[in-house]
Amino acid sequence: MPTTLEEKLAILQNYSACDVSDALLKLQPQTPGTPARAGYLADLTLHPSPSPINHPKIKTIAPASTIKFLPKNAPDPPLPLPTQTHHPTLIPKSTPWADLTPAHTIMVLEQPPHQHCAVVGGINALRMKQLGARGVVVGGRVRDMAEIGASGLGVWARGGSTIGSGAEARAGVWGGG
């Protein structure tokens, strides 16, 4: 039985995303009236959009570190109770959220629905790459496609925008790494 994180991640390399989704469906009972997600985040695409000729298919497996964005003027939310592996923390408004990126993780960012701003841009992508992020998944929008592409960091998002996050959103809760 694997005990270290590295051993567990090495085993996951043997499985496809569909294999993992099928296993998650079996592990998580379905609540009536709730759609089965099984780890699937809908409508994500790689940004900037790659050329099919020069984009290799790469599987990235790493622990996740999460950041939840809040509406710009929303009060701080109550935090859920910490668990053995999850210690949510409020992000002070003066803290550059990209600096919270733990090395060797995939950053998973959640943006409030129906916002039009981007929560990740070129500077954030470069900073996360410098800190050792293996990729970024954005449940929201990104901008600065040329800079994101130049950072070398894989960034998957639901869409793009020219508007910066300061217009509508702020980093609110960090889920740790």
Binding site listing for substrate:
143
> Which parts are annotated binding residues for Mg(2+)?
144
Which of 123, 117, 119 is closest to 147 using CA atoms?
A: 123
> Which parts are annotated binding residues?
143-144
Do residues 71 and 168 lie in contact, with contact meaning Cβ atoms separated by under 8 Å? Answer: yes
In eight-state DSSP terms, residue 166 is G
- Terminal alpha carbon distance of the chain: 23
Question: On the CB side of 116, how many CA atoms lie within 13 Å of its CA?
Answer: 3
Strand partners, 170: 70
Using CB atoms within 10 Å of the CB of residue 21, give its burial: 0 to 12 exposed, 13 to 18 middle, 19+ buried.
Answer: middle
Using CB atoms within 10 Å of the CB of residue 64, give its burial: 0 to 12 exposed, 13 to 18 middle, 19+ buried.
Answer: middle
Q: Which residues contact 83 (CB under 8 A, 6 or more apart)?
A: none
